[in-house]
Structures are given as structure tokens and as C-alpha cells.
Amino acid sequence: MSEEKTPAPGLIPERIREALRAAVAALGAPEEFDPQVTPTADARFGDYQSNTAMVLAKVMKRNPRELAAALVGSVEVAGLCEPPEIAGPGFLNFRVTGEAYAARLAALLADPRLGVPAVAEPKTIVIDFSAPNVAKPMHVGHIRSTIIGDSLARVARFLGHRVITDNHIGDWGTQFGMIIHGWKSELDATALEADPIHELLRVYKSVNARAKADAAVMEACKDELVKLQAGDAENLAIWKRAVDLSLAGLGGMYARLDVRFDHFNGESFYNARLAPLVDDLIEKGIARESEGAVCVFSDGSVPPEEDPFLSQRDGEWGANPCIVRKADGGFLYSTSDLATIDFRLSEWKADEIWYVVGAPQQLHFRQIFAVSRMRGIEAAMTHIPHGSILGEDRKLMKTRSGENVQLADVLTEAVERARAVLEEKNPTLEASEKVAIAEVVGIGAVKYAELSQHRMTDYVFSWEKMLALQGNTAPYLQYAYVRTRSIFRKLEDAVVFADDEVFVIAEPAERTMVAKLCQFGEVVPDILNDHKPNILTNYLYELATTFHSFFEACPVLRSEGVTRRTRLALCEATSRVLRQGLDLLGIRVTERM
């Protein structure tokens, strides 16, 4: 397949824009004027619309309907659209021709990227997500960061960026005083062997409770922490064991979730870099001593409402510094995050760093980004926040006994429930197949429930909803995929489409189907505009419902000739887009269900 033979045709709205650019230039529009084209909400108004005439009328002080009429006469979209129509105050409506859609369908099938353009300027993007705290194990709240971060990484990679995923685990902190004290006083070696994460959590909780009730225990924990930070060999060895065991446990969970990290550079990785960093901040006059601690204060460069180093108390703006060294000499979460930025820029040459971390840490990130700017760092750093997961009572999700819900338990229950649904709907499947399918459906359901929400929404975790076979759920989409595959299993020979095969789009349902398929290339890049995977879930849900309508309206196997070829091509393209789209969400498919 040579490049000349099948030039990857641009996205349809881009081609309309190109034509509009030429047309407005001929009308004397200012050079920087850029026409916009959007999908129409209602198929009666065609497939795409543009407000160009109205916007340009303002700029050029002319009548919008007159400009629209001039554009209709001059915009060159022949071969792509019917002649555009004017609607309302001067909208231009474009209706893509059946031939153009048929050609796009052939191009889509010939394109491994399924019509999604690669970015013109690939960037190196570090994505910081998941990042649970060792010994305070990953609970269901961490699921949001893990699942959203993984999906954004998949999308950015697919678009051609160089993505580096880094799990900034909390493996250094005050909790280790308690862990070490508990390790020495009450560790159950057998339980540790059997389920390390569980036993470490038990120890942490037990010591935490004892320390609250007994000041002497609290003191003992503090002593252990001081010894650890001073490099005591025994305590360092215990810390190392605890971290390694936790990482091994996390590894199992990430494997089950099909989430990969390029690096696990946790907080401890930066220990040696913290003291020099603080010295440098002092030397450059960015940080200064205050009551024994070292802090960064406001430099007054932005209005108080935008200043992360000020906060309002009783109507007065007061200092809200970023502390980088405590009076006792200890370093903080902020200090290691600043050192982390340096490392990612110098070692990995990051152009951008994305932090997928819950909304409560907003101020923390505003502060460290501002300190970085003071240090002359220009790389784009973005906090991508998310809300919480609620229980059916609309409070933060907890177990019956009021504990944090463990992610591992959620996954196990999801797979068990998926298995029960399968038993009911398709009892004839073989046992081993049921096990494999239940895993794909159960994990997929949990991920999709997350990704189909706007990330800032606090959403209610509901097993019934996420596992429903109808509605905007993973099982519904996975089932749509199964349906597309079952068509091809009924055929004797494998269907192969030529790169330049001529299809014919005739029925309205075929048209709606192909139009939806062509939008995949528009939707995927849009996800990164505001880091919202729910743009993709919405699209895939529409794609699946469109497919079901198409399949009902247009018999495939009973049709003939070019109609049959076209319909098979629509099924095949739907199958590939569903599979690729779900893969960008980190969700797998099965051939049967």
C-alpha cells in the first residue's frame, strides 16, 4: 500500500474548515480569522454546521445573511457535501454526501488508526497517577486516580505523544513510625506471609489506636521515625521490607486492572535531593526562615484571590506559606514534589506533567506549581482533579463496619457479580470460559462506571447500575462488540475489504451508522482538551445504540451484492472502533458473552 494510493483523508469537519478558510479569505476576512465547524445536534440540519457568517459579519460589520449567501456560492465542498444551506440568522448547514461517507468507510477500514489523526507535535508527557500510600493501603478512592490516569495515558500514547507513567507512591512518611513500632511489638509473621498488605494495615491501625490512647506509645513511634530518618540500619531494613511487600501486593492489583507504570519513583526516591533543594531555595531568595521552619511566602505578583500563598481569615488576607522544611529539620510532601519536578524535567525532558489526584489537593498543587515558576520552570504542569465515590447513602463510600472499602475487595466482588449475571443469561457457556468472561466484564464494569462520569462529579457506586446489560455500561458495550463478532462467525469465509473498495450508502440507518463511525477521529483528540474520558464513553454508548438500530433496520446476511458488502463493512468498522475505543479506556472485550 503506497502512500500516494491512499492518502489518509483528513477529518470531514477539518476539510469543511479548509474550504471555509479559502472562501472567507476571498471575501476579504482578516488573516487571523479562523472558521469553526461543529457537528449538528439534529440530523435534519445536515451533519455539520458553521457560525462563520455570523462571527465574520461582526468582524467585518456586514449583514450575516448576505455573507452566508456569498459563502454558499463560493465555498468549495463539492465531492464532500451537498451545497450548504442557510438556516436561522446565518448558520451554514453541511450535509455530507453518501459517496463521501462511503469513501470514508473504505479509508477507515484501511487505517490502523481508524481515522484518528496523530498529533502534529508529539510531546513528552509524564503522568503521575494512582500513588497510594504504603501501609495505608489503596482504598476505593484511589480507584479514580488509577483508572482515569491509565485511560489518559492510553489516549495520549495513541495520539502519538511520548508518555511516561510514574507512580509516586507514598513510601516515606510519619506512618512508618507506627509501622516500625508495630513490626517490633506485634507483627504476626504468618499473617504477613499470607497477606502482607492486610497484615501491615492491621498493624498500622492497631498501633494508631494504641498511640491515641497512650502517650508513651506515641513517643515510641516518634522515636522509631527519628531513627529511621537518621538512617538506623534496623529500621531502614524494616521500612524496606514493608515497602517491598506492599509493592508486590500492589503489583498483583495493577496486573488485574491491566494498568502499567513505567516507574515507581515514590517519595523516598527523592530523599537525598531534599536538603540541597531547600538550600537552593534559600540561596535564591525564594524561601526564607520563619519560626525555625523554611517557607515560601507570597511574592505579591498576583491578586490575593489568585495567590496560593495567601488565605482569607475573618475577611483579612493572611500568609499561607508553603513549608519546605519543618522547624525540626524534617522535609514535607511539598519538598519531595518539588524535587520530583526537577527530576522529571532533567532526566526525562518532560514537556508536560499531569497529576491525576483528588480535588482536596488543589492548594498543594497550586503552591508547588507557583514555587516552580519562581524557580524559572516553564514546563506545563496540570493538576487533573477528581471528586469522590459515594455509597448508596450519598456519603463517602465505606464498608458496613465503617471502614474504607479496599479496592482489591471491590474487584473480587465485581467479578463474582459478573459471574452471577452470566450464569443467569448464558448458562450454557463452558465453566472456564465463564471465569475468563466474568473477569473481563466485572473489571470492565468498575472501570466504565468511573470513566463514564464527569471526573469532578461525586458519584454513587452502584453494582446494579454498573453491571446492567442495558444502558451506558461496560457490559452493554462489550455485548455490542460480541454482536458484531457473531455476524462474522456465521460466514463461511473471512471477509477482506480492499483499500479502495467502493461502498454504497443508501438507507438512512446506514448513513447514521457511517456518520457516527467517522466521528471517532474527532472525539479521541477532544478527550485531552479537558482530560475527560467521559467524552469517549458517551461516544461509544451512542455508537453502540446506533449500531443496534442499524442492525435492526438493515438485514446484513440476507442482503446481497454491494449492499451486503457495505453492511458487512459497517459491522466490521463498528467492531474495530468499539474494540479500540474500549482499549483506550483500559477495558477488554470478549468474543462471546
How many other CB atoms sit within 10 Å of the CB of residue 119? 12
Site for ligand ARG in 300-339 (CB under 6 A): 337
CA gap 112, 110 in Å, rounded: 7
What does the block give as the cell for 255? 496486573
Indicate whether 357 belongs to the interface with ligand ARG (CB under 6 A).
yes
Indicate whether 168 belongs to the interface with ligand ARG (CB under 6 A).
yes
337 or 439: CB nearest ligand ARG? 337
559 burial type by CB count under 10 A (0-12 exposed, 13-18 middle, 19+ buried): middle
335 or 574: CB nearest ligand ARG? 335
Indicate whether 98 belongs to the interface with ligand ARG (CB under 6 A).
no
Q: CB of 394: closest distance to ligand ARG in angstroms?
A: 23
360 or 508: CB nearest ligand ARG? 360
138 or 480: CB nearest ligand ARG? 138
DSSP string, 337-384: HHHHHHHHHHHH--SEEEEE--GGGHHHHHHHHHHHHHTT--SEEEEE
Indicate whether 229 belongs to the interface with ligand ARG (CB under 6 A).
no
Q: Point out which span in 97-105, 128-136, 436-444, 532-540 binds ligand ARG (CB under 6 A).
A: 128-136
Contacts with 153 (C-beta within 8 Å, 6 or more apart), sequence order = 127, 129, 163, 165
Q: CB of 259: closest distance to ligand ARG in angstroms?
A: 15
Q: What does DSSP assign to residue 305?
A: G
Indicate whether 532 belongs to the interface with ligand ARG (CB under 6 A).
no
Partnered with residue 133 across adjacent β-strands are 136, 170
Are the CB atoms for 354 and 386 separated by under 8 Å? no
Q: Point out which span in 38-46, 61-69, 129-137, 385-393 binds ligand ARG (CB under 6 A).
A: 129-137
CA gap 10, 13 in Å, rounded: 8
95 or 139: CB nearest ligand ARG? 139
Indicate whether 131 belongs to the interface with ligand ARG (CB under 6 A).
yes
Partnered with residue 162 across adjacent β-strands are 124
Q: CB of 369: closest distance to ligand ARG in angstroms?
A: 12
Indicate whether 175 belongs to the interface with ligand ARG (CB under 6 A).
no
144 or 576: CB nearest ligand ARG? 144
Binding mask 392-431 for ligand ARG (x = CB under 6 A): ----------------------------------------
Count of chain residues binding ligand ARG (CB under 6 A): 10
CA gap 517, 572 in Å, rounded: 11
Q: What does DSSP assign to residue 593?
A: -
Indicate whether 589 belongs to the interface with ligand ARG (CB under 6 A).
no
Among 51, 133, 452, 546, binds ligand ARG (CB under 6 A): 133
127 or 569: CB nearest ligand ARG? 127
Among 11, 93, 128, 523, binds ligand ARG (CB under 6 A): 128
Indicate whether 171 belongs to the interface with ligand ARG (CB under 6 A).
no
171 or 439: CB nearest ligand ARG? 171
Indicate whether 160 belongs to the interface with ligand ARG (CB under 6 A).
no
User: Checking DSSP bridges between strand 48-50 and strand 91-94, what pairing results, if any?
Assistant: antiparallel
Among 39, 170, 330, 387, binds ligand ARG (CB under 6 A): 170
Look at residue 124 and give its three-state secondary structure: strand
CA gap 382, 162 in Å, rounded: 17
Q: What does DSSP assign to residue 10?
A: P
Closest among 16, 92, 19 to 52, alpha carbons compared: 92
Are the CB atoms for 331 and 278 separated by under 8 Å? yes
353 or 593: CB nearest ligand ARG? 353
Are the CB atoms for 27 and 74 separated by under 8 Å? yes
Q: CB of 265: closest distance to ligand ARG in angstroms?
A: 10
User: Checking DSSP bridges between strand 293-296 and strand 287-290, what pairing results, if any?
Assistant: antiparallel
126 or 509: CB nearest ligand ARG? 126
What does the block give as the cell for 240? 524496606
Contacts with 403 (C-beta within 8 Å, 6 or more apart), sequence order = none
170 or 391: CB nearest ligand ARG? 170
Binding residues (CB under 6 A) for ligand ARG: these are 128, 131-133, 168, 170, 337, 340, 355, 357
